[in-house]
Amino acid sequence: MAKLKVGVLISGRGSNLAALIDAAKAQDYPAEIGCVVSNKEAAPGLAIAAAAGIATAIVSHRDHPDRESFDRAVSAQLERHGVELVVLAGFMRIFSPWFPSRWRDRLINIHPSLLPAFKGLHVQRQALEAGVRVSGCTAHLVTPDLDSGPIIAQAAVPVLAGDTEETLAARILRQEHRLYPLVVRWFGEGRIAIDGDRVTVTGVACDATLLFSRET
């Protein structure tokens, strides 16, 4: 059975990319990374991809007059490599409506909060200022509305006394590295079913789409 061809978009260090690469090494993993595209030439994640023998491309947003022309250039790279699922892994660009429409139901992101709480940037600061006791990350489909697409799965972590933005972010990131490869696996296994604004994972218990961490 052919593996799902994944394209990963990055802007920075590529830690989630590295987690996906490690997961794809397993013989039974149903997805493979066909290409990695960055909008920044100096993104460290490009070296991670190259070391794994994965094709890379740089599409600078500075070379395009508007968001849609940039989005179309990124899409052309993905299409060139036969990508079927687009995975955002620290991609720090806001799309025009064209891109999520072009890749509708085949474009996913992981956000470092339990959506719909704390959208946008500085989410750990938002969580600490709100005094929440639990935070985490959310894998979701991408729509034209920022951080508002249908939720696929979440991972929760405790917010501890004395936490800073950095310590909370590090705890959440470890769960992103668990959750994202799992969600891509479900896509590769054909388990993802989308009905309007709701996502179900066929053959997976509902509580298995929420991971808990009790690490301190």
Write the DSSP symbol of residue 186: H
Q: Are 179 and 152 in contact (CB under 8 A)?
A: no
The SS3 of residue 146 is coil
Contact 128, 99 (CB under 8 A): no
Where does 39-84 show beta strands of DSSP type E? 55-58
Active centre residues (catalytic)? 111
What six digits make up the tokens of 127? Answer: 């969580």
- Helix (H, G, I), strand (E, B), or coil: what is residue 183? helix
Long-range residue pairs from 57-62, CB within 8 A, at least 24 positions apart, any chain = 61/93
Q: Could you give the angle at the alpha carbon of 95 between the alpha carbons of 122 and 129, nearest 5°?
A: 15
